[in-house]
Structure 1
Amino acid sequence: MRPTERLKAAWLTASANLAVMRALDAARPGCARYVGGCVRNTLRGLPSDDFDVATQLTPPQVIAALQAASIRAVPTGLEHGTITAVHDSKPVEITTLRRDVETDGRRAVVAFTEDWSEDAARRDFRLNAIYAGADGTLFEVIEESIADALAGRVIFIGDADQRLREDYLRILRFYRFNAWYGAGIDADGQAACARQREGLAKIAAERIWKEMKRTLAAPDPASAMRAMEDAGVLEAALPGASPALLPGLVAAETEAGLAPDPMRRLMALFPRRLREAGELSARLKVSNEESLRLAAWADPAVPRVLGAGEAAVAEAFYRFGAPAVLDRAVIEAASGAGGDLAALAARALAWTRPKFPVGGSDALAAGLAGPDIGKALGALEEAWIASGFTLSRSALVARLKAPG
């Protein structure tokens, strides 16, 4: 392992990071180094808010070192050597150096080691195997790892097929990192992912969706998603998905000033049909909120409003919710539909649903009873909507009359 230049980053002197590294160094000087995303992102000039530390200390020694420094130690993954330190309400994940003893494509049995090279060799990509000391000194264990991080190259460590057989989720991570860093798909990695794609059947649906969501959140995931399709990985992960609309969707989002939205991008991969939306929600085990959003977007009653007048847009927002209407409009724009998407998006984001100003107590006061209450209020609400929500409460109440 050779030390190179030093990182320069504000997080190196953040109170939680300083406290944790000092506690570990007090137990054994030089035993701990930052690794993974915080190092990679800093090299690329990107922000870091998630900090992983690798150490030669065993988990009991880590706990003892943290306790000696009055830092809370949470055993979040003891079987894999992981302790989470919490200082000033900030978490720092600490993992003992390890090597794989046995893997089955989903989980690994590990043995602890003091060898940095063994620890690096079990990681997925070269750009994720860069270590940094407490002062930011970089240690390059895997050749070309720093160059990969700077260039955004996503290249497996060692034999790509072996890395994937150790954990098939790495197939999706390969495309996720490519979506975010965009130096171009490594041909050997692409070929290995194609060969090993059936292994994704071993991965839980929740983990697949979590990884796909992070991929779709990239500024422009279209190229990575096309590569997934070419390798047969997209069909293995999301049967029936097609990335054909993604380039147009990214362009529409950009034109409308909308942030990347992984849920809307997921919608664009599938036909807009209620049955498919329900099946997709069940298959990926999405959250209740995400399931409701998919169903609202796929609702056949949601009208097309791109290019429609203000009254039609307001009525659609009221009846179906601004998010569902906007989701449909953005995807329509991606398909080439005309209209001022930016103006529609601005209206949707600023929309506050008006409250119908008449209720059951008003109907009772007017002498209505039983089913007549619901019928009268329904008709009154329709008139209020038709007025563009301008009819006043007094005008609406005046229309309430008892039958006969």
Structure 2
Amino acid sequence: MAKGGVRVLGLCFLSLLHLAAAGSVYDVLRYDAEGDGRTDDTSAFLRAWDDVCADRDNPTLLIPSGATFLIKKLIFQGNCNSRVTVRIDGNIVAPEWFWTDEYVSLMAFHNVNSLTVDGDGEIDGKGKIWWDCFSRKEQKCANRPNIMSFAFCNDLTLRGIALRDSPSKHLTFFASARISMSGLRISAPGDSPNTDGMLIAQCKHVVLSNSAIGLTWLLVAGAGDDCVAVGTNTTNVTVTNVRCGPGHGFSIGSLGGDSSPATVKRVHFLNSTLTNTTVGVRIKTWMSGGTGQVRNVLFKHINFTSVRKPIQIDQYYCPARNCQNKTSSLTIENVQFAHLHGSSSDELATELLCSRYYPCRGIVMRDVHLQWNGVAPAKSACFNVLTSKSYGRVLPSLKCVAG
């Protein structure tokens, strides 16, 4: 046989091996999903999931392109018998009415390990009616749903999917480990209330990064709250190559609400940009109590464009202004702000407001240059920082006062 023929047969053989390794594909259309954007396809998705979860050979749940699927309160429950891929190539939409009065998610995964969710499709939470209702403080929308949530899901991979206009948070992660995300696109209007891009709580070993081929960034292209929020009892988080704005920026916290214990350690925000956000990078703890610590945090190589307050530590967080000023033993230690550059839309560009009773320790500023969009130089406020160091050019400069 000619060499060319051998090569073609070899490629075909490798392709067959790849298809075999991928396992069976379960298309929701084969389970009587309509895909017309009007008919409720929730039960069809769940029937397909039952077969996927029972499969022992790396199955794929396919939401195919060219169709739009209406779902509500969809819970994918594990444990499953194999690694599972959920491929979202089509579009998914929420109902345009108040479809729940519980704090749930449009699409939730519980106890599903070794899961991959990827695809080129989009999930639209149809959040506007919820935002308007919430702004009017109507009871029927007190519990607004999220778009997608993961709980007790270890070894999780998310790639490429788009989420938009969530009634509440777009993505939530709880009690999960070894999470890898890349190439996500999350968007909502800047004035949509509390529509965080993602909240990560009680998790460990989390990486949010740009795609492996370097063509797209993890994109939080505007949300009505934190683009990325790191919540309580979370360790080893790296966020790199993220573009955020509008919204509230990158946050650790809020922590210590209702005097609860909270620990966050080893969190790195790197190589990212924030544009037209209210805050850039911040750590916030409730003024009304709480125990625990925030330790070993790095904000490095971040650029700001017209960010109202680029740098903030706030240990007096109380958005409703009705908190009791209790003594908190939640401490903040070893936080480094390195190579942070750009502009602020507020004259007060840097604000470090630490606890009077438990001052911040080990605050490091290295090559920080922030310029106010106004005519005067930017200013800083710094209270109750027990130990701090500055290296290179630091503007605005810090004059910290220990309590």
Normalised TM-score (structure 1): 0.27
Relative contact order higher in (CA < 8 Å, ≥ 6 apart): 1
| More helix per residue | 1
| More strand per residue | 2
- Structure with bigger gyration radius: 1
Normalised TM-score (structure 2): 0.27
